[in-house]
């Protein structure tokens, strides 16, 4: 099934922003010109532009148009403001991604894990431990825990390619939202054994809790990243000032 028209427009514009066709602080063509170019309606174009804005590529400036605010960066650029698999991120930023499944097991959520994750105590989860390579550098260790009531099993081939593709296309799971926290922590013995830390003894940790369309928190993940390849981007807006 082809992607919705607004997603096709988003991908086209994103690629042209990232390759420099629309450089930093330049303006995109008007909605009228874009809708004529893509043979679609202005609301469809507007949705694609809103999608670009939510991912930190553009900003709407009243009276001027849509300005590019994206700047190329040398480190890997993962999104905090969007949900994408590592394979999708690798394709977007031009980084080769390879995954090795280190272990897979079934666990019961104990009170400590429940307090840390938001998952219900007593629930069964599938625990995947995966080593992720970026351009053949061992750069990330993922600890993924999936509720078995939502994800009964994960085949090895899915674990070593894209779990999200398996969830969406095979199980029909609608991945809706994710809350995330980023910290810097001391490297563990496991990190030292598997990751190329480049002489450092710390890792960037991304902790996330994903919800499906019915509001069920079904995935809790802690990812340990090598600092040299770690880079997340997000877009922030000024909150209303307190008075």
3-state SS, residue 29? coil
Per cent of the chain over pLDDT 90 is 61
The answer on pLDDT for 82 being more than 90 is no
Cα 130 from Cα 140, distance rounded (Å): 8
Residues 36 and 64 in one domain: yes
Residues 155 and 220 in one domain: yes
Angle between helices 5-18 and 86-93 (to 10 degrees): 50
Residues 53 and 86 in one domain: no
Q: Is residue 241 in a domain?
A: no
Q: Is residue 240 in a domain?
A: no
Residues 21 and 138 in one domain: no
Q: What is the pLDDT of residue 232?
A: 73
Residues 57 and 152 in one domain: no
Where is the domain boundary, 40, 68, 96?
68
Q: Any idea which residue has 């013995």 for tokens?
A: 189
Residues 112 and 225 in one domain: yes
Q: Is residue 238 in a domain?
A: no
Give me the number of domains the chain comprises: 2
Where residue 23 sits, what CATH number does that domain have?
Answer: 1.10.10.10
pLDDT band, very low/low/confident/very high, at 89 (cuts 50, 70, 90): low
Q: What is the pLDDT of residue 19?
A: 85
By C-alpha distance, which of 233, 230, 176, 167 is closest to 203? Answer: 230
Q: What is the pLDDT of residue 78?
A: 63
The answer on pLDDT for 92 being more than 70 is no
Q: What is the pLDDT of residue 1?
A: 60
What H or E segment, with its residue span, contains residue 141? Answer: strand 137-147
pLDDT band, very low/low/confident/very high, at 148 (cuts 50, 70, 90): very high
Instruction: Kindly compute the dihedral angle of the four CA atoms of residues 11, 25, 35, 176, in this order, to the nearest 10 degrees.
Output: 40
Residue 77 dihedral angles phi and psi, to the nearest 5°: -115, 95
Where residue 206 sits, what CATH number does that domain have?
Answer: 3.40.1410.10
Residues 59 and 156 in one domain: no
For the chain, give the mean pLDDT: 88
Residues 105 and 147 in one domain: yes
Q: Is residue 29 in a domain?
A: yes
Q: What is the pLDDT of residue 228?
A: 85
Residues 51 and 92 in one domain: no
Q: Which of 75-84, 138-147, 208-217 has the highest mean pLDDT?
A: 138-147
191-218 confidence digits (pLDDT tens)? 999 999 999 999 999 999 999 989 999 9
The answer on pLDDT for 48 being more than 60 is yes
Where is the domain boundary, 47, 68, 89?
68
What H or E segment, with its residue span, contains residue 186? Answer: strand 175-186
Residues 125 and 214 in one domain: yes
178-189 confidence digits (pLDDT tens)? 888 899 999 999
Residues 108 and 201 in one domain: yes
Cα 22 from Cα 97, distance rounded (Å): 27
Residues 90 and 190 in one domain: yes
pLDDT band, very low/low/confident/very high, at 97 (cuts 50, 70, 90): confident
Domain that holds residue 61: 5-68
3-state SS, residue 45? helix
pLDDT band, very low/low/confident/very high, at 111 (cuts 50, 70, 90): very high
């Amino acid at each position: 099934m082809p992607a919705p028209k607004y997603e096709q427009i988003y991908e086209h514009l994103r690629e042209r922003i990232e390759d420099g066709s629309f450089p930093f602080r330049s303006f995109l063509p008007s909605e009228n010109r874009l809708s004529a170019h893509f043979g679609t309606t202005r609301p469809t174009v507007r949705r694609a532009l809103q999608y670009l804005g939510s991912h930190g590529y553009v900003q709407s400036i009243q009276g001027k148009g849509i300005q590019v605010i994206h700047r190329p960066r040398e480190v890997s650029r993962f999104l905090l403001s969007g949900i994408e698999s590592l394979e999708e991120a690798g394709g977007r930023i031009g980084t080769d991604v390879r995954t090795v499944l280190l272990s897979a097991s079934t666990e019961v959520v104990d009170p400590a894990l429940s307090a840390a994750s938001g998952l219900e105590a007593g629930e069964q989860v599938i625990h995947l431990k995966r080593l992720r390579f970026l351009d053949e550098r061992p750069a990330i260790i993922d600890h993924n825990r999936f509720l078995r009531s939502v994800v009964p099993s994960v085949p090895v081939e899915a674990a070593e390619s894209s779990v999200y593709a398996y969830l969406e296309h095979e199980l029909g799971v609608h991945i809706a939202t994710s809350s995330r926290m980023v910290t810097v922590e001391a490297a563990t013995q496991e990190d030292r054994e598997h990751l190329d830390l480049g002489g450092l003894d710390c890792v960037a940790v991304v902790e996330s809790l994903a919800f499906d369309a019915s509001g069920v928190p079904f995935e809790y993940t802690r990812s340990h990243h090598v600092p040299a390849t770690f880079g997340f981007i997000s877009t922030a807006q000024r909150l209303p000032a307190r008075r």
